[in-house]
Amino acid sequence: MNYEEFQQQKSFDKGELLAFAHGNLFEGAPEEFKVELPAPPMLMIDRIVDITREGAKGRIVAERDVALDDWFFECHFRDDPVQPGCLGVDGVWQLLGFYCAWRGGLGSGRALGCGEVEFSGQIRPHDHLVRYEVDIRRFTKIAHAGASLVIGDALLFVDDELIYEIKRAKVGTFQGIDYPDYPKASPRSRGGKMER
């Protein structure tokens, strides 16, 4: 597919998300396009069921299949396996970064925080399906800064039971911060505070 077709597509299967994570889902993106999803095992999404936009707002519904041998169950905790809550939050950030890319955000994606996180349940090895429902409160392109920003509220369900609520999760895309020559030491090989 080409870049314009990517921006019009309304759902993405696992193969397409993996191709996006490896940078080969589509052709013809602007040179400044650097947004990626993390590759497995850090990828916390198996499919995007629906992605929509309406002005500055939108919505994403996505799913992840729970597997008995998910990597985190083996270490968190050995005698009490549970998915770390932070991975559910990261899944929301991954979806928001994907949304930025889908809306035309350029540069590299970075999580910027969230307002509130409440956990009222857990994900265990014999659960089946995690569902993310993310309402996009605002998407903004900041052309003069070469950046974009998305803010969303998310609900996370396991087997149709609401277990996480995440308010004001934020992700941005920024040009000129990528580190393509990893692991070589170079001007972008060190972290630290980002310019605002």
Query: What positions carry a catalytic annotation?
Result: 76
Alpha-carbon gap, residue 150 to 140, rounded angstroms: 6
Instruction: Kindly tell me the burial class for residue 158, based on how many C-beta atoms sit within 10 Å of its own C-beta (0-12, 13-18, 19 or more).
Output: buried
Residue 37 near residue 62, CB atoms below 8 Å: no
φ, ψ for residue 131, nearest 5 deg:
-125, 130
Count of CA atoms in the C-beta half-sphere (13 A) of 48 = 26
**DSSP secondary structure letters along 44-89:** --SEEEEEEEETTEEEEEEEEE--TT-GGGGTS-TTS----HHHHH
